[in-house]
Structure 1
Amino acid sequence: MKSFALLFLVVICSMGGLGQKLKPKKRSTSGGDINFRTKTKDNCRMSVSGDEEMKLRIECKSQGISYWCEFTGKPSVCRAFRNNPKVYWNQITAELRKLSHACESSEVLKTTMCQKAPPDALMKQIAAGMEPEDGARQDKVQKNSSRGAGKSPAKKAGKPPVPPAQHGQASENETEAMKLAREHCWESLHDVCSYIIGIFRG
């Protein structure tokens, strides 16, 4: 009885696995990221997204400058694409490798396998751009100006003025000399006496 139950479980499990194997796998229509080089050695990367209406983006770097462009289209309307999308994207990449600039010379991307497909199948360029590789957006460092510019210029040192006290002392000596001359000298000799007294007191 136990062996029968075990055999039954094995049959059920194997049938479940067989059912999973028989499920058809959905073929991926995107080519994933593909790296390539242009004729002028630009390093490029191509990425694909979307299902029915697909979007293709190309990003390249060339001599310190990076550029990009985007394409959109419905390659799924092409039967050959549906059968083998990987070959389709490889053909697109092969055409891009022949170009000097992956975005300037490629407004429409064509393949040999979908030449007879409707116009909707073509991947048409919808946007493009270019920018410095380092991102131009480098902030300039401003140097602080020296603060010495705001200072007022130093005053030139001039000769010190004569203190008024000295002038006062000279006049004081003259008046005292005249007083002594009046006391001790004749009236006619007051000027001479005061002059002589001033010299001795000076």
Structure 2
Amino acid sequence: MWTQDSALLLLLACCLWSAEAQGDKRQSIWDDPIKFKTKANDLCSMIITGNGEYTKLRVSCQSNKRSYWCEYVGKPHTCRSYNRNPRHYFVQMTWGLRKLQNACQAPRQIKPHMCRKATDDSQMVFASASFTRSPPEASSRTGARPQPRPAPTRATIRVRPRVKTTPRANPQPSAPPVESNAKRMAQQYCWRSLQGICSYFIGLFRN
């Protein structure tokens, strides 16, 4: 007959066995990297490690021409869907990363679709990288290189040509009309009342 102590020991053994099995399952998820390829055909792998309350994600990529890495930190366990399927959380992250030329040029905050209704604590936040990130507006989603800004053009100032103004000559006073010899002789030799008649006749004789 089972005693009470024996039953308690059996129950405790079952609980320990269950906890150990879950721990092995969790450990196997962390030890198995998630691999994917980017749009530039870079081979990348995700390695997830736990650091107390926070979870750290390291993305490492390599190709024939380059190699790089970046790290994200967050609290994905605050999302209920994550606790049910942690691996799928990071698999959903690869859906966006594989569309980029550079997997480490993703947005600084990433929240997979399965946790879209969870708080922002459940998202993964960019922490560091092996290179200097470009602004997210340029390549966070498309991976396109930022276009150089056109050099500022110099404003051209049109100068109107100066028109030389010549000083106007003062009008010369017109010379008084030259009196005819007949009129001048009439003024000298005739009375004033007869100067017009004298001038007329003197002009006839002179002509």
Q: What is the TM-score when the length of structure 1 is the normalising length?
A: 0.51
SS in 1 for 2:104: coil
Structure 1, unmatched stretches of 5+, are 1-6, 131-202
Q: How many pairs were matched up?
A: 122
5 Å matches for 1:61-80?
61-80=62-81
Alpha-carbon offset, residue 94 of structure 1: 2.2
Distance in 2, Cα, partners of 1:114 & 1:75: 9
| Structure 1 residues 36-78: Cα deviation after superposition (integer angstroms, max 9, x where no partner) | 1111110111101115310100111133211110000000111
Alpha-carbon offset, residue 16 of structure 1: 6.4
Alpha-carbon offset, residue 17 of structure 1: 6.9
SS in 1 for 2:115: coil
SS in 2 for 1:103: helix
Match of 2:83? Answer: 82
Match of 2:118? Answer: 117
Match of 2:46? Answer: 46
Distance in 1, Cα, partners of 2:53 & 2:94: 20
Q: Note if contact 2:97-2:106 (Cα within 8 Å) is conserved in structure 1.
A: no
Q: Note if contact 1:73-1:124 (Cα within 8 Å) is conserved in structure 2.
A: yes
Alpha-carbon offset, residue 117 of structure 1: 1.1
Q: What is the TM-score when the length of structure 2 is the normalising length?
A: 0.50
Distance in 2, Cα, partners of 1:45 & 1:122: 19
Distance in 1, Cα, partners of 2:62 & 2:104: 12
Alpha-carbon offset, residue 104 of structure 1: 1.3
Q: Does 1:34 align with 2:31?
A: no
Distance in 2, Cα, partners of 1:97 & 1:31: 20
Alpha-carbon offset, residue 21 of structure 1: 4.0
Match of 2:109? Answer: 108
| Structure 1 residues 143-176: Cα deviation after superposition (integer angstroms, max 9, x where no partner) | xxxxxxxxxxxxxxxxxxxxxxxxxxxxxxxxxx
Q: Note if contact 2:71-2:126 (Cα within 8 Å) is conserved in structure 1.
A: yes
SS in 2 for 1:113: helix
Alpha-carbon offset, residue 89 of structure 1: 1.6
Distance 1:67 1:117, change over 3 A: same
SS in 2 for 1:64: coil
Q: Note if contact 1:96-1:102 (Cα within 8 Å) is conserved in structure 2.
A: yes
Distance in 1, Cα, partners of 2:35 & 2:48: 12
Report percent identity of matched pairs. Answer: 37
Alpha-carbon offset, residue 88 of structure 1: 1.0
Query: What is the RMSD of the two structures over their aligned residues, measured on CA atoms?
Result: 2.9
5 Å matches for 1:1-202?
20-23=13-16, 24-25=18-19, 26=22, 28=26, 31-32=30-31, 33-50=33-50, 51-130=52-131
Distance 1:62 1:16, change over 3 A: same
